[in-house]
Each structure stands twice: as structure tokens, then as C-alpha cells.
Amino acid sequence: MSAAGDRVEVRAPGRVNLIGDHTDYTGGLALPIAIDRQIVVRGVDTDEPVITLTSDQDSTQASVRLPAAGITDIDPPWARRVAAVAAELGRENGFDGSVESTVPIGAGLSSSGALGVALALALGADADLSRLEVALLCQRAQQAATGVPAGILDEMASLHGLDGHAVLLDCHDLTVEPVPLPEGAEIVVKYISHRTVAGSPYSDRVAACHAAEEVIGPLRLAGMEDLSPLSDRVLLSRARHVVTENERVRQCVEGLSSGDLKTAGQLMTASHISLRDDYEVSTPELDAAVETLLSTPGVYGARLTGAGFGGCVIALAEPGAVTDAWVVRAVDGAEVVSGGSNYYRAP
């Protein structure tokens, strides 16, 4: 049990999804890396039944009275995540601390997912939870704080990242398989525009997938031959994206594992086209940035990453090929840096 005066410091990375977007909430496949941009939470347990946190990203501090309730009415909005995580943990004793972030906000690199994970590790540093349990807890907290029925990709990526590796996530059985990143290629990220998933058509896409599943059964098990009963054009194209994207993830893992960067890149580009045309979550700015990357010598493939509607584009490229973008490194997942206990149980 934690006691007043106990200190903790945790870190949780953001993520870039190499391929496999809008597949997680139907139990599909995704291939993210945890990136070398992170959220750090430091603080101390207190006797007062209140969590107080400052943030270097928001001048308004979060002050959440415990036990946390009325989550969606709390201001500032980032404090809702604090309250939702505290409620999931059943936290009753207070905490006084700070949040520092190098993950750009609203860029599709999962600043919110990383914040949730960092908060869960900091506020639950003595809870006896596996990484998978933390991911599920954070997903529930995310949904309670925002009302958006998001999948589990962001939390799993932040918790299960591995230095030098992508991680193949199966979002149905919640298994994680490390995929070494090949030598001779780098992953670059270009920021295009700010967006938030809350208020975007994300929920509409989730609903469309579930409507398609009512007709043809689980999309994660479907092949192209199973789509013909979908008479609604929109449901058909949403389902086609999911089915083809799951297959692209499988093939991309093979390409990366065998060092076939050309194939891996082509699959990433095909993923962008599917997200643009079938899933309709791209924007003209994201499309233009992808085109520019694809016309750059040494680029194997490019795509939007994350939910879309704005955010970032990424490319798989020869080292040094793209000069006006940020090269990301794949790093280890979230950890308790000091204080607390128990966070190294296997998933």
C-alpha cells in the first residue's frame, strides 16, 4: 500500500502506427512502435482526498476530488482523464504531482493514450496489475473521459513497445508479438495538422463497422469473398478497408521480417489509399503530404498514421532520404522509473 510521502516517477511513450489503422475496435491487427517522445508524471502520495497535477501543456491544473465522480463535467478537459483513471483504480488517497510531455498534442501520436498510461502507472504504482490489465483499464478510462468508443491500440503500443521493434497487436486475443525493424531503413514523421478524435467522425466509423458485422459477422474473420451481402455502399467500403488492412498488416510483418522494404513500403502506401478512399478518414493536406513523400527518392512507402482527419503522415525510407521530417526511434514501453512496485509482471 502506498503511504503519504511516497514518491513515484513514471514514463509512457506516444506511438506511431506503421500499418493497421481502424482495425483495433473490430479485433483486428495493428503494427505500432512506441516512439522516443513521452509523457513523464512525477508526484507524491498525500493524505488529502484530492489529486492535484500541473501540466507543461496546459496552464490550468487538474484538481480532482476523490472518489472521482461526474467525470465528463470536470474542467479542464484533461482532468477528466485523471478522474477516469483514478475512478478505474478505485483510488482514494491523494496525489500531488506534475505532467511533462514531449508528445505533440492532437497530432495523432497518441498523446492522450500516453497520458492515460502514465497516469495509471503513477496513480496505481502499487496496484498488482499486468500490462494488459493496465491497457484495458486505460481504454475504459479513455472511453469514460471522452465518450469516444476508441480501441486499444494506443494503450497497448505505449505499454508494450520494444526498443528497435514494432509490435504486432492482435486486438481480439490481445497478444503482442515483437517484429524487429530492419537495418537500412528509418521511419520519419511529418506533422500536418491538429485534430482531436473527440468531435471527429471516429464514432461513426466504429458504428459502421458494427453495422457491417451485424450482416456478415466478425470483420476480423472475414475475407473479400464474405463482403457481398453488404448492399449498402458505405458499409461495404468501410468493411473492405478493415478486411484488406488486416491482410496488409500480415504481409507487412512478413516484408519487414525478411528485409523486403519495397514490399513493406508498398503496403503502407496501399493502406493510405484504403484509408483515403474506402474509410474516408484522410484530408487533402494528408494526401498531398503523402504524395510529396512518395515522389522523394529513397521513400519506400508513406501513409497517414492513427485515426486520420488530420495529424501526421509517416514514411518508411532509406536513412537520410527525407530531410524535412522527424526520424522516430522505436523505444521500450511505459515504465515506473522510480518508486512503486509490481509493474514488471508479464502480460
Sole binder of ligand GLA in the list 9, 21, 88, 126 (CB under 6 A):
21
Residues 6+ apart with CB under 8 A from 295: none
CB of 154 to ligand GLA, least distance (A): 5
* 154 binds ligand GLA, rule: CB under 6 A: yes
| Three cell numbers, residue 300 | 519506400
* 24 binds ligand GLA, rule: CB under 6 A: yes
Decide whether 17 or 38 has the Cβ nearer to ligand GLA: 17
Catalytic residue among 154, 170, 204, 277: 154
Decide whether 125 or 268 has the Cβ nearer to ligand GLA: 268
Map residues 56-95 to x or -, x wherever contact with ligand GLA holds by CB under 6 A: ----------------------------------------
* 245 binds ligand GLA, rule: CB under 6 A: no
Half-sphere exposure of 159 (CA within 13 A, CB side): 32
* 25 binds ligand GLA, rule: CB under 6 A: yes
> Which residues ranging from 250 to 279 are in contact with ligand GLA (CB under 6 A)?
none
CA distance linking residue 177 with residue 120, whole number of Å = 23
CA-CA-CA-CA torsion sign (157, 163, 168, 173) = negative
Decide whether 91 or 241 has the Cβ nearer to ligand GLA: 241
* 22 binds ligand GLA, rule: CB under 6 A: yes
Q: Which residues of 89-112 are buried (b: 16+ CB within 10 A; e: fewer)?
A: bebebbbebebebebbeebbbbbb
Decide whether 94 or 108 has the Cβ nearer to ligand GLA: 108
Sole binder of ligand GLA in the list 62, 115, 120, 153 (CB under 6 A):
153
CA distance linking residue 158 with residue 332, whole number of Å = 8
How many other CB atoms are found less than 10 A from the CB of residue 258?
A: 11
CB of 344 to ligand GLA, least distance (A): 25
How many other CB atoms are found less than 10 A from the CB of residue 172?
A: 14
3-state secondary structure 121-155: HHHCCCCCCCHHHHHHHHHHHHHHHHCCCCCCHHH
CB of 200 to ligand GLA, least distance (A): 9
State the burial class of residue 75 (Cβ atoms within 10 Å of its Cβ: 0-12, 13-18, 19+): exposed
Decide whether 155 or 186 has the Cβ nearer to ligand GLA: 155
Residue type, 252: C
Residue type, 313: V
CB of 64 to ligand GLA, least distance (A): 22
* 312 binds ligand GLA, rule: CB under 6 A: no
> Which residues ranging from 179 to 238 are in contact with ligand GLA (CB under 6 A)?
197
Sole binder of ligand GLA in the list 307, 314, 315, 317 (CB under 6 A):
307
126 catalytic per annotation: no
Alpha-helical regions (H) of the chain? 78-89, 111-123, 131-146, 153-160, 202-216, 233-257, 261-277, 284-294
Map residues 108-147 to x or -, x wherever contact with ligand GLA holds by CB under 6 A: --x-------------------------------------
Decide whether 2 or 17 has the Cβ nearer to ligand GLA: 17
CB of 172 to ligand GLA, least distance (A): 14
* 151 binds ligand GLA, rule: CB under 6 A: yes
Sole binder of ligand GLA in the list 306, 333, 339, 340 (CB under 6 A):
306
Q: Is the peptide bond before 218 cis (omega within 30 degrees of 0)?
A: no
CA distance linking residue 43 with residue 55, whole number of Å = 12
Decide whether 2 or 196 has the Cβ nearer to ligand GLA: 196
Residues 6+ apart with CB under 8 A from 234: 208
Give, in order, the Cα–Cα distances in Å from 333 to each of 14, 98, 164, 218.
Answer: 9, 20, 11, 30
Residue ranges in contact with ligand GLA by CB under 6 A: 17, 21-22, 24-25, 110, 150-151, 153-154, 197, 306-307
Which are the catalytic amino acids? 154
